[in-house]
Amino acid sequence: MSKVKEVLKLKEVTVRFAGDSGDGMQLTGSQFSDTTAWVGNDLNTLPDYPAEIRAPAGTLYGVSGFQLHFSSDDIHTPGDQPDVLVAMNPAALKKNLSELRNGGMIIVNSDSFDLKNLKLANYATNPLEDESLSGYEVFKVPISSLTANALEGTKLSPKEVARCKNFFALGLMYWLYNRPPETTITWIHEKFKSKPEYVEANEKALKAGINFGEMTEAFTTRYSVEPARLPKGTYRNISGNEATALGFLAASVKSGLPLFLGSYPITPASEILQYLSNYKNFGVKTFQAEDEIAGVCSAIGASYAGHLAITNTSGPGLALKTEAIGLAVMTELPVVIIDVQRGGPSTGLPTKTEQADLLQSIYGRNGESPVPVLAARTPRDCFYMAIEASRIALKYMTPVILLTDGYLANGSEPWKIPDVKDLPEIKTKIRTEKEGFFPYLRDDNLSRPWAIPGTPELEHRVGGLEKANITGNVNYDPDNHDFMIKLRAQKVQNIENDIPDLKVDGDESGELLLLGWGGTYGTIKEAVSKARELGYTLSQAHLRYLNPMPKNTGDVLSRFKKILIPEINLGQLAKLIRSEFLIEVEQLNVVRGLPFRTSDILTKITETLGGNNGK
């Protein structure tokens, strides 16, 4: 019999699963995340995919990772440094070791540390046998051979058996952190219901990992993280891409308009197409186009036909869509363009995150082509900002750009499922009456009427040539062009009267304000919280509306002596703030293809305040 293991209560833990791209680390991490959400912990995740498709197995380039930060308290980031690293091969260990905290736990698949894999990872000696890991708590577990032993007698081939080792590792981690396996077992039965031999093997591997943890003498301690005290409600774990898709689905229902997505697959935005294609029973139409231009043009056509029309892409695709977005500006049709930002330029870092499309979103079109620009700040906020982007597009008859990023898209967190009645109403105003109709006559919002093709006596011209005021006829008069340019710009500017004021977390005035936008929200919030614990006095504000900005933005900024703007770019919001409000700002710019570390921002805060924490 095994000895009873001590159970140690922890407030929070950061775990990183890492292995070859074929080792199933994303699946392992997502299952651990879903189970962690089910038991009630707050959590935040960071999947980290290799940038190359099927890089050579065992190499540093092929390492895939999944980081999970879970806690009994409210958290906002995937964690700075892992407390635990599960490394399935030497390359995974080498690539991730430098980020593991001092004294952290390492669980390695010792079977993979053979001469071939050590050489592929550029190890001169075996780190499990020399003294290089002496500063860590290392557990050498022969995961591959233990999995093979557990699956002896099944109908799987040796190659298929090897693929089950991630479930053994998952089972071991479930045991170590007191996670129940039932949700994963249910998932296995559903996922592989047509292949009973896979159901049997994966369930056996999962339970073998749990049993190994219980029986081995290597682990003397288990860990427990109590459920977080979250507001009452029904929760589910949700990624930013899925939240974005569900947000547009909700906007379709609330507006009474059928949803159309015209999309060309591109990392990391493709999942939005995949998610929405499952909702045909809600009247959703998804179209996988032959290229980015076709994707946005099909959305413009769907909008002309009376649909809530959207198109999704990443930075390179947004560049290709620019002329068509200008067409939507000219025709004044409601289209939402979702840009899931990734590392650039060009193909760049397709599986990594970045915030470098802000200036492209606001200015990246020929001519004077103003477009409202919004940005989600957390994975679950993608749901609400998708609804808001739809509302603005439909109310003001304009294309809208919604910015998310690779971290938000692939990361996940618990989401309290809202009551439908609490979601904002979205009124539509499709024109049917012929009396007094002119295609470019304006309402109080400066929005033109939305007349659907085929409506009797509401025929009108559309196209990319300049429109005459009121009639919409093609017009080359210089004064008319000047008038229409300014009118379209004023329509977008007027949206500032229809969006919330910029809110300040902390004192309304003072020495330092941290101003952010997009996916930096959680890290900034956590850094500000830690700085306050150290005795510093500072405030935070976060922009979800970038064009136009909230009306009180200038007033908020004027009340602080210093403004610090952390961005995963070289200072794009900083440029906008300087030019718009004629004030100087401090910058923090780190562009690594990864989210900020809390420590990055905390260090900059202490430098900016000069060590003055009021003590």
Pairwise CA distance, residues 171 & 107, whole Å = 13
pLDDT at 88 > cutoff 90: yes
The residue-averaged pLDDT of 18-22 equals 92
Contact (Cβ atoms closer than 8 angstroms) between residue 372 and residue 344 = no
The residue-averaged pLDDT of 306-325 equals 98
Q: Grade residue 2 by pLDDT with cuts at 50, 70 and 90.
A: low
Pairwise CA distance, residues 340 & 357, whole Å = 9
Lowest mean pLDDT among 1-5, 318-322, 427-431: 1-5
Pairwise CA distance, residues 364 & 63, whole Å = 35
pLDDT at 46 > cutoff 80: yes
Angle of the 25-38 helix axis to the 165-176 helix axis, nearest 10: 30
Residue with tokens 């390695």: 108
- Which residue from 577, 552, 545 is spatially nearest to 564, judged by alpha carbons? 577
Res 3: pLDDT:
65
- Laid out side by side, the sheet with 84-87 consists of 42-48, 63-71, 12-20, 84-87, 105-109, 137-141
Res 353: pLDDT:
97
Angle of the 143-150 helix axis to the 196-215 helix axis, nearest 10: 120
- The string of pLDDT tens digits covering residues 336-380 is 999 999 999 999 999 999 999 999 999 999 999 999 999 999 999
In order, the DSSP letters of 213-231 are: HHH-SS--EEEEEPPP-PP
Contact (Cβ atoms closer than 8 angstroms) between residue 54 and residue 60 = no
Pairwise CA distance, residues 107 & 100, whole Å = 12
Q: Grade residue 202 by pLDDT with cuts at 50, 70 and 90.
A: very high
Pairwise CA distance, residues 294 & 323, whole Å = 12
pLDDT at 612 > cutoff 50: yes
Tokens of 90: 């030497």
pLDDT at 569 > cutoff 80: yes
Tokens of 415: 């989401």
| 418 Cα distance to chain centroid | 20
Tokens of 102: 């001092």
- Beta-strand pair 412-416/235-239: antiparallel
Pairwise CA distance, residues 519 & 407, whole Å = 7
- The string of pLDDT tens digits covering residues 376-408 is 999 999 999 999 999 999 999 999 999 999 999
Lowest mean pLDDT among 290-294, 410-414, 458-462: 458-462
- Laid out side by side, the sheet with 560-567 consists of 504-505, 539-543, 510-517, 560-567, 586-589
Count of CA atoms in the C-beta half-sphere (13 A) of 147: 32
Helix, strand, coil shares of the chain as percentages rounded to 5? Answer: 40, 20, 40
The residue-averaged pLDDT of 325-338 equals 98
Res 1: pLDDT:
52
Q: Grade residue 615 by pLDDT with cuts at 50, 70 and 90.
A: very low
Do you find a cis peptide bond into 548, omega within 30 degrees of 0? yes
Res 4: pLDDT:
72
The residue-averaged pLDDT of 494-519 equals 98
Pairwise CA distance, residues 339 & 296, whole Å = 12
- The 10 Å Cβ neighbour count of residue 321 is 28
Res 614: pLDDT:
47
Per the document, the length of the chain is 615
Res 57: pLDDT:
84
pLDDT at 553 > cutoff 90: yes
Res 172: pLDDT:
98
Count of CA atoms in the C-beta half-sphere (13 A) of 447: 21
With 0-12 CB in 10 A as exposed, 13-18 as middle and 19+ as buried, what is 216? middle
The residue-averaged pLDDT of 207-217 equals 96
Q: How large a percentage of the chain has pLDDT more than 90?
A: 95
The residue-averaged pLDDT of 194-222 equals 95
- The string of pLDDT tens digits covering residues 230-252 is 889 999 999 999 999 999 999 99
- Torsion (CA) 360, 285, 303, 326 in degrees, nearest 10: 20
Contact (Cβ atoms closer than 8 angstroms) between residue 35 and residue 183 = yes
Give all domains of the chain, ordered by start, each with its CATH number.
6-225 (3.40.920.10), 236-422 (3.40.50.970), 430-498 (no CATH), 504-609 (3.40.50.920)
Q: Grade residue 613 by pLDDT with cuts at 50, 70 and 90.
A: low
